[in-house]
Amino acid sequence: MSAAADPSHFHKDNPFPARITENRLLNRTGSNKETRHFVVSLAGSGLHYEAGDSLGVYPTNRPSEVEEIITLLGARGDEPVLPARATDPMPLRAALTQGLDLDLPTRKMVEVVAGKVADPAHRQRLSALLQPEAAAELEQFLHQRSFVDFLAEFPTARFAPQEFVGLLRRLMPRLYSIASSPKVHPDAVHLTVVAVRYRTNDRDRVGVCSTFLSDRVELNEDPVPVFVHHSHFRPPEDGRRDCIMVGPGTGIAPFRAFVQDRVAAGATGRNWVFYGDQQRATDFLYEDEWLAYAAKGQVARLDLAWSRDQEHKVYVQDRMREHAAELWAWLQGGAHFYVCGDAKRMAKDVDLALHEIVAQQGGMDTAAAAAYIKQLKKEKRYQRDVY
């Protein structure tokens, strides 16, 4: 077996140089979001994935931001530096482009700059942020800035290239839920990615990896370092089991993979998909596919929630409550329940709705409902892929 065909040859520490073969916008004109569908070719890699796995992607930073940092440092870009955990020096420009995270400055950066600035007003401002009672203000201050902001806002704080690099963390890979099944696409991975763009502190910001894929990778040309991250998030092993999937927004990605996988395998268990976003007219990701599955009966139930299509916002957990009796019947019949998406709000709201439905429909008190759901988790019938 050749090295290229050996699945163990490519991994997180030795990613495969994949090519992007498709990059298309999923939202329609008028949407507030920019969600893109990517096809990543794994041809020749020997890599294998399963429905429920994620793809790790190593991005590079925006050249414009890298060049601005070099200029603000008063550097040329070819100075040798040794980033964190690196074994050999590399040119400053290369380290800032592909090795270091330019976002999410920490309290340490404020402390260092406060000790360097010559301007008394700047020093006083930063010192005030470091006081214990200013913790919330400091958090907001850091949240609105990247490392380049400190160089631009406090120009009297001078850094040698190595000193600045020493304050930066490694640029870590981003993990994206795979939106395809290997039974249908054995040599490619599909991704569903929101291109993150926003503005803080009078500066345009971007999601490093999402805009790397969206804006800077040339189709079929530029190598994109990737690896497969294997997961325990899996469709039911028993194809006769029913499957309830809750995935609003890009949380739909693994469930596109699940349904592809189950249809290809001839699974006889029913599929119930809860999906939602802001507006049906602009944000129904993979609409044609989902409607086709529903028309063929391959998705037995497709319940949709559009938060901005009416005066009162409607979310997936609201649709769950509307169909509480049937959802309970599916669970009692052995169905598996899955959630994918935002961990901070959506997943918590869905979990709360599930507890309420179990208590209400099962005639249980709060403790008994919690025990029932704990048992679902123990049996791997309640799984979450949240971020």
- What letter represents residue 242's amino acid? D
Rounded CA separation 304/275 (Å): 5
pLDDT at 313: 95
* Residue 14 DSSP symbol: B
Domain boundaries, the chain: 3-59+173-229, 63-165, 243-386
Mean of the pLDDT values across residues 345-367? 97
Residue 158 pLDDT more than 80? yes
pLDDT score for 4: 45
CA–CA distance, 255 with 241 (Å, rounded to integer): 15
What's the DSSP call for residue 298? S
The CATH number assigned to the domain with range 3-59+173-229 reads 2.40.30.10
At 97-116, the pLDDT tens digits run: 998 999 999 999 999 999 99
Confidence at residue 2, expressed as pLDDT on a 0 to 100 scale: 40
Q: What is the pLDDT of residues 204-261, one digit of tens each?
A: 999 999 999 999 999 999 999 999 999 999 999 999 999 999 999 999 999 999 999 9
Strands 80-81 and 382-386: unpaired
Distance CA 385, CA 387 (A): 7
Q: How far is CA 40 from CA 24, 207, 228, 303, 335, in A?
A: 12, 19, 12, 30, 32
Question: Residue 308: is its pLDDT beyond 60?
Answer: yes
Residue 21 vs residues 87, 128, 142: alpha-carbon distances, Å: 34, 51, 37
pLDDT tens column, 48-79: 999 999 999 999 999 999 999 999 999 999 99
Assign 6 a pLDDT band (cuts: 50, 70, 90).
low
**CATH number of the structural domain 63-165:** 1.20.990.10
Averaged over 144-149, what is the pLDDT?
97
User: At 86, is the pLDDT very low, low, confident or very high (cuts 50, 70, 90)?
Assistant: confident
Query: The whole model's pTM is what?
Result: 0.94
Indicate the CATH number for domain 243-386: 3.40.50.80
3-state secondary structure 137-201: HHHHHHHCCCHHHHHHHCCCCCCCHHHHHCCCCECCCEEEEECCCCCCCCCEEEEEEECCEEEEC
- Of 240, 302, 244, 234, the closest CA to residue 267 belongs to 240
Give me the count of residues in the chain.
Answer: 387
**Average pLDDT estimate for 253-270:** 98
CB 225 within 8 A of CB 58: yes
Grouping H, G, I as helix, E, B as strand and the rest as coil, residue 17 is strand
Alpha-carbon 50 to chain mean position: 18
